[in-house]
């Protein structure tokens, strides 16, 4: 089993079993395995050459696990695997997910609260977090403003897009490496992306997107540099986000995008992933 790669893991046995049977029917060699963590039911891939194809099947399964084709595959294998009602949107599951990812959940809640307060006319948090020119920060010592823009948003679409990606990718990293690594990546990428944007285009900006692009870069490169860790982004999603980054520079959208922050964040995330893999390799060599 040591040579196997973790493809995906679930909190319950049934979906892991069902996906395993379907992948076997597609000619992909996998095994169900009991793991020693919260997501204790894993689907382990035997041949790394099948990784890209298996990921696509796994992503399709997660989006629609009740599809009849999965039950059909189980019947063909002579097994009966019945899924419980999808736990993804149950109250208990949501609360458990928030508890397991405390920092990702905290940033999510803070951003929502600040945005909702602004919507009802309470703009004090915006004024307190808005970044200022470096000369003013040197004079007043309000250095928290270098991180502040990551927590403020200006429209429903803006905050929805950022928080969706923050939760999906941040939760994945926090569950894998722990809260301290996510806090470090958040702090580093927010600081660097905000200062870069400030230096090039001035202080009129906000949003978590610099940090989001850091998460994108980190997860993307981890999937490339260390696929055995089971952390990755589907190539179409990476392509979409990179194209979206380029579209921002073309200045053809009705909204102004913090392009410098996006680019600086992406670079931070890629470097962060590289450092994680390098440290892991050095530890394994010792």
The catalytic residue among 20, 193, 209, 232 is 209
Helices 102-119 and 91-100: angle between axes, nearest 10 degrees: 110
Exposure of 218 in the CB half-sphere (CA atoms within 13 A): 32
209 is catalytic: yes
Is 262 known to be catalytic? yes
The single residue of 4, 41, 158, 262 carrying the catalytic annotation is: 262
Q: CA–CA separation, 169 vs 215, rounded Å?
A: 6
Give, in degrees to the nearest 5, the angle at Cα 265 between 271 and 130: 145
- In 3D, which of 234, 211, 223 has the Cα closest to residue 276? 223
Q: Which residues are catalytic?
A: 209, 262
């Amino acid at each position: 089993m040591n040579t196997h790669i973790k493809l995906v893991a679930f909190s319950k046995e049934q979906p892991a079993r069902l996906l395993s049977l379907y992948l076997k029917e597609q000619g992909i060699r996998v095994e169900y395995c009991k793991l020693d963590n919260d997501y204790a039911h894993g689907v382990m891939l035997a041949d790394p050459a099948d990784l890209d194809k298996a990921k696509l099947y796994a992503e399709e399964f997660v989006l629609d696990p009740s599809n009849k084709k999965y039950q059909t595959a189980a019947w063909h294998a002579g097994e009966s695997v019945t899924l419980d009602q999808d736990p993804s949107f149950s109250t208990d599951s949501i609360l458990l997910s928030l508890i397991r990812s405390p920092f990702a959940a905290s940033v999510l809640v803070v951003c929502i609260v600040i945005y909702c307060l602004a919507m009802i006319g309470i703009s004090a948090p915006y004024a307190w977090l808005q970044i200022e020119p470096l000369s003013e920060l040197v004079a007043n010592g309000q250095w928290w403003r270098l991180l502040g823009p990551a927590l403020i948003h200006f429209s429903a679409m803006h905050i929805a897009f950022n928080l969706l990606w923050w939760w999906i990718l941040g939760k994945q990293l926090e569950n894998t490496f722990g809260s301290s690594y996510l806090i470090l990546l958040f702090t580093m990428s927010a600081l660097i992306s905000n200062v870069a944007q400030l230096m090039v285009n001035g202080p009129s900006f906000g949003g978590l997107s610099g940090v989001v692009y850091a998460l994108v870069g980190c997860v993307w490169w981890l999937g490339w540099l260390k696929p055995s860790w089971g952390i990755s982004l589907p190539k179409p999603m990476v392509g979409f986000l990179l194209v979206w980054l380029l579209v921002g520079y073309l200045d053809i959208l009705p909204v102004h995008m913090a392009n410098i922050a996006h680019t600086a964040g992406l670079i931070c995330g890629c470097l962060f992933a590289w450092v994680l893999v390098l440290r892991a390799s050095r530890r394994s060599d010792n």
